[in-house]
Amino acid sequence: MDKAIQLERLAKTYGRRRGLVDLTLDVGRGEVFGFLGPNGAGKSTTIRLLLDLIRPSGGRAVVLGLDPRRDAVELHRRTGYLAGDFTVDGRQTVRECLAFLAALRGGVPERRVTALAERLGLELAPRIRSLSKGNRQKLGLVQAFMHEPELLVLDEPTSGLDPLVQQVFLDLVREARAEGRTVFMSSHVMSEVQAVADRVAIIREGRLVTVDTVSSLRERAVRTVELHFDGPAPAGEFEGLPGVTDVVAEGPRLRCRIAGSPDALVKAAARHTVTGLLCEEPDLEELFFAYYRNGGGDDRVTDA
């Protein structure tokens, strides 16, 4: 796999506290990579190290084949970055700000900027200081995407956005991937990462917990199943089945949770007349919190 990002035992300490501990990770070119963790897990620390906004205490990073410190100008030229705390001069209008940032990029066609703003529902005339949090976030997305960068590094990109705009953002990510560009996206919102990511890393308290495909993680997640029978639900036949827990029967309805293969559950149900079946989609968020509760390491970090 051709690599857009290579991290080798990357570490960051803040005095006696550790923000990132020996992070080793590869992200392929053309991949959408989800970087998951709650606030305080070390996501923003990692991103700032990638872009040489802060310096590592140990280890190394290679981004687009470049050294983030030595080749910072070239790296920033080829990267679109949305910070988790995105701020710009509030005295400018949206149009003035984007024109200024486009000039720093060497020029971006105005029609490209206008088209992105229209898709996201961002007005160009207002002064930035008058914008809501959601509209400031839209401005951040436009400036990150407008020059069609080789690498997009997005820190909590949907913060403050309403659901319709979140869907537009996900479409933009899909389009970037279709064009062969790489997206490294941190989040604590599982649903948005499930929708677009090829692979996911889960970070806990500055330590990498796991890296896997979204589909594989979803297969491990616990599902909730609801069965309806033509008579009283035979709860006793389901208790103790492999992977089945939390069996609750209410009249003809039986609810339970299943981890892993549902084979034993299906075979037990097939011995009766089933009038209805509902299997809820596994929740990656639940899987994440299981990792978070059970993962190793006790050192708290200081950054989101």
Please state the rounded mean pLDDT for residues 137-165: 94
Domain contains 301: no
**What are 55-85's pLDDT values in tens digits?**
999 999 999 999 999 999 999 999 999 998 8
CA angle (286 as vertex; 201, 134 as ends), nearest 5: 75
- Give pLDDT, residue 87: 86
Per-residue pLDDT, averaged over 185-208, amounts to 86
List the CATH number of the domain containing 249: 3.30.70
Say if residue 160 is in the same domain as residue 200: yes
Structure tokens at 75: 């790296």
The predicted model gives 190-219 an average pLDDT of: 85
Q: How confident is the model at residue 300 (pLDDT cuts 50, 70, 90)?
A: very low
The mean pLDDT of 159-181, rounded to a whole number, is 94
In whole angstroms, how far apart are CA 17 and each of 209, 270, 300?
Answer: 19, 56, 7
User: Is 275 inside any structural domain?
Assistant: yes
Asked if 58 and 170 sit in the same domain, the reply is: yes
* 97 assigned to some structural domain: no
Domain's final residue, options 190, 218, 246: 218
In this prediction the pTM is 0.80
What total of structural domains would you count in the chain?
Answer: 2
User: What is the C-alpha radius of gyration for the chain, rounded to an integer number of angstroms?
Assistant: 23
When pLDDT is averaged across residues 104-118 and rounded to a whole number, the result is 93
**In-domain check, residue 298:** no
Query: pLDDT averaged over the chain?
Result: 89
Residues 157 and 203 in one domain: yes
Tokens read off for 40: 């305080």
Q: Is the pLDDT of residue 221 over 50?
A: yes
CB-based contact 152:145 (threshold 8 Å) = yes
Judge if 164 and 266 occupy the same domain: no
In this structure, are residues 262 and 219 in contact, taking their beta carbons and an 8 Å threshold? Answer: no
Question: Between these two residues, 223 and 111, which has the higher pLDDT value?
Answer: 111
- DSSP code of 235? G
End-to-end CA distance of the chain: 29
- Domain boundary residue, one of 187, 218, 249: 218
What residues contact 18, with CB distance under 8 A and at least 6 apart? 11, 12, 206, 299, 301
DSSP reduced 3-state for 213: strand
- CATH code of the domain in which 157 resides: 3.40.50.300
Does residue 5 surpass a pLDDT of 60?
Answer: yes
* Residue scoring higher pLDDT (299 or 167): 167
Asked if the structure places residue 27 within a domain, the reply is yes
Asked if the structure places residue 180 within a domain, the reply is: yes
Q: Which domain holds residue 204?
A: 3-78+149-218
pLDDT confidence of 1, banded at 50, 70, 90?
A: low
pLDDT for the residue 294: 58
